[in-house]
Structure 1
Amino acid sequence: MAKALVGYVGGPTPDQIRESARLRRRVADLEAEVLRLKVENDGLLKALGERVEAVDELLEPLAH
């Protein structure tokens, strides 16, 4: 009875299988995008840190 209420009599339909595959691909695409953005962010943070160090070196003589 519970299976009939949920709609799983006879297993998943072809539409459900296609939708599940589409969603798995979308999740994989989003995970790849998150990884790409993390790598890009790490590079930007490194570049920013290098620039801050360069500015600190330029300002150091003025502090004395």
Structure 2
Amino acid sequence: MAKALFGHLGGPTPGQLQETAALRRRITDLENEVLRLKVENDGLLAALREQVDLVTAGDLAEPLAR
């Protein structure tokens, strides 16, 4: 039924086609941004884990001061 209504109305207007193309570009841009942020986050987590490992190893090597 939706196809019949869509065909009956004559299809999308040029403005709708332009808006759809712009929205698709925006979605692609946002997906790329999410990917970039995930990579950056992974790097930050790895650096944090390294710092925690160093602090833990340093704490074990030195006696506690009282």
The TM-score with structure 1 as length reference comes to 0.83
Aligned length: 59
Could you say which residue in structure 2 is the equivalent of 1:48?
48
Where do residues 1-20 of structure 1 align in structure 2 (5 Å cutoff)?
3=5, 9-20=9-20
Amino acid at match of 2:55: V
What RMSD in Å do the two structures reach over aligned CA positions? 1.7
* Unaligned segments of structure 2, at least 5 residues: none
Sequence identity percentage: 58
* Unaligned segments of structure 1, at least 5 residues: none
Higher relative contact order (CA 8 A, sep 6+): 1
Deviation at 1:57, TM superposition (A): 1.1
For the residue of structure 1 that corresponds to 2:9, the secondary structure is: coil
Question: C-alpha offsets along residues 2-52 of structure 1, whole Å, 9 cap, x if unaligned?
Answer: 72xx7x611100000000000000000000000000000000000000000
